[in-house]
Amino acid sequence: MALFRVSSNKIAELNQILPLANLAVRNLTDASTDLKHVLAQKIPKEQERIKAFRKEHGNTKVGEVTVDMIYGGMRGIKGLVCETSVLDADEGIRFRGYSIPECQKILPKAAGGAEPLPEGLFWLLVTGEVPTDAQVAALSKEWAKRAELPAHVASLLNNFPSTLHPMSQFSCAVTALNTESKFLKAYTAGVHKAKYWEYVYEDSLDLIAKIPVVAATIYNNQFRNSKSLAPIDPNSDWSANFSKMLGFTDPQFIELMRLYLTIHSDHEGGNVSAHTVHLVGSALSDPYLSFAAGLNGLAGPLHGLANQEVLNWLNKLASEIGVDASEDQIKEYVWKTLKSGQVVPGYGHAVLRKTDPRYTCQREFALKHLPNDPLFKLVSNVFKVVPNILLETGKVKNPWPNVDAHSGVLLQYYNLKETNYYTVLFGVSRALGVLASLIWSRALGLPLERPKSMSTDGLMKAVGYTK
Ligand SMILES: CC(C)(COP(=O)(O)OP(=O)(O)OC[C@H]1O[C@@H](n2cnc3c(N)ncnc32)[C@H](O)[C@@H]1OP(=O)(O)O)[C@@H](O)C(=O)NCCC(=O)NCCS
């Protein structure tokens, strides 16, 4: 049974919306608005809990590995610990036990807003507790305070050629930010490993605070004639500040950003970006280097870049056939894509086997705010035809849409049109999940990751294959 702690004023609300069979709700353990303090209380208890568990079950088997799993990208192999979220193939992601609709209900919102603040999600991911409004406000302030970039990173960003993809600019800038790493300095000075997590925590907060500035600088340099950034408002939230730095002040767009930055944050531990950050971090590379490595993985078209690919694919469809293409015309276009050896971007998933709830909540946002948008209608019509076609191919394990099938159309509606920027937004959000995990990886003293690989000859020998 999972134990999650929430503030007392949330409990009545929770009792109404959550199926409590699997959820024991407890009072907030600590009302402090200092996240590091709250975390510091939890870590020793969690270390002890895991120690006792491993003592009793260290040799208990939890699965089997087949030859196909080894050749098949390790699908289904249980080989990682990730505390922040768990992905159920049918139900989708749960952040510390809470589904996306539940998070939309229980996490604190901005005044007058309806979508969760990503600060609250981060607090939840780090502590397992639903934060109070005051805790979330403290985090907004903390991130605003830490946002400034060192001069060499600003200058690096300002000197990138416009031909360099925004994701490459993003990962270069994050790598160069490691001049600021407190973990690196502490490690070099010989700090005891029991204290590693504290420095990873500090770096993570600094990094989360600074990446919207990095991301907005990339956007303004590339698409707004190097316009200078709107100043950070210390009384505003992370998403509102980010949106304004990008030049978007429409309150609805800011709400979209709050939702967007919440739902793209975490997808358990095995996806390319999360796993990469964990892997690189396990070598005790600092959080900047680890996160930059994860961004490079996110920049792949089968992972985060799919959101750019979807929009380009939809735009091409609209320009070739028309945005009001009929279902038959869309079918023909999908088959053309498949026959040319391409994937249909935004569909399929390595773990999920149903429609991604991240797709569904974005669809609900669209139904509420832009129900008559022609591109949204096209996305809806694509949804009607693609799953059956993918099923017809006989090989696609999950024919349903994922998060990337929907995100771009919302951005287009609010005039964020530059598709090659979309994955940067994903990256800003992904920092919340992977850095929350990185803090815990060091808190739990997880070792250098080093799975065993085998040659084909070695594998054949191991299973007695002699042909
Ligand atoms: C996400 C993805 C990489 C998962 O890959 P996977 O776990 O290997 O998926 P499957 O096991 O279903 O793949 C089996 C086959 O179906 C194909 N397939 C899967 N999704 C497909 C799609 N959307 N369009 C066409 N073919 C697809 C695979 O390429 C593979 O073909 P192959 O045997 O010829 O190599 C894959 O579904 C994909 O490429 N989707 C499009 C890109 C995308 O949206 N990525 C974002 C994911 S959040």
Structure tokens at 90: 């049918």
Largest Cα separation within the chain, whole Å, is 70
pLDDT digits (tens, 9 = 90+) for 182-240: 999 999 999 999 999 999 999 999 999 999 999 999 999 999 999 999 999 999 999 99
pLDDT digits (tens, 9 = 90+) for 290-317: 999 999 999 999 999 999 999 999 999 9
Average pLDDT over all residues of the chain: 94
Fold (topology level) of 304-414:
Cytochrome p450-Terp; domain 2 (1.10.230)
The predicted pLDDT at position 45 comes to 97
- Is there an atom of ligand 1 within 6 Å of 459 CB? no
Query: Angle 35-57/133-145 helices, nearest 10 degrees?
Result: 110
Q: How far is the CA of 262 from the centre of ligand 1 (A)?
A: 25
Q: How far is the CA of 343 from the centre of ligand 1 (A)?
A: 7
Q: How far is the CA of 349 from the centre of ligand 1 (A)?
A: 6
CA 245 – CA 257 distance, rounded (Å): 12
- Is there an atom of ligand 1 within 6 Å of 92 CB? no
Q: What is the mean pLDDT of each run of 10 residues along the chain (467 residues)?
A: 43 44 49 96 97 98 97 96 96 97 97 97 98 97 98 98 97 98 98 98 98 98 96 98 98 98 98 98 98 98 96 96 97 98 97 96 97 97 98 97 97 97 98 98 98 98 96
- On whether the CB atoms of residues 311 and 419 are closer than 8 A, the answer is yes
Structure tokens at 241: 């500040």
C-alpha separations of 76 from 89, 386, 446 in Å: 11, 25, 21
CA 294 – CA 279 distance, rounded (Å): 9
The predicted pLDDT at position 30 comes to 79
- As beta bridge partners, residue 99 has 94
Residue whose Cα lies nearest atom 37 of ligand 1: it is 348
Catalytic residues: 303, 349, 404
Q: How far is the CA of 279 from the centre of ligand 1 (A)?
A: 24
User: What is the residue type of 129?
Assistant: E
Only one residue has tokens 């358990």, namely 268
Q: Which ligand 1 atom sits closest to the C-alpha of 267? A: 48
Q: Which ligand 1 atom sits closest to the C-alpha of 397? A: 12
CA 429 – CA 417 distance, rounded (Å): 19
Residue whose Cα lies nearest atom 34 of ligand 1: it is 395
153 contact partners, CB below 8 Å, separation of at least 6: 173, 176, 177, 214
- As beta bridge partners, residue 4 has 25
* Domain coordinates in residue numbering, the chain: 304-414
The predicted pLDDT at position 29 comes to 67
Query: Angle 272-282/422-443 helices, nearest 10 degrees?
Result: 40
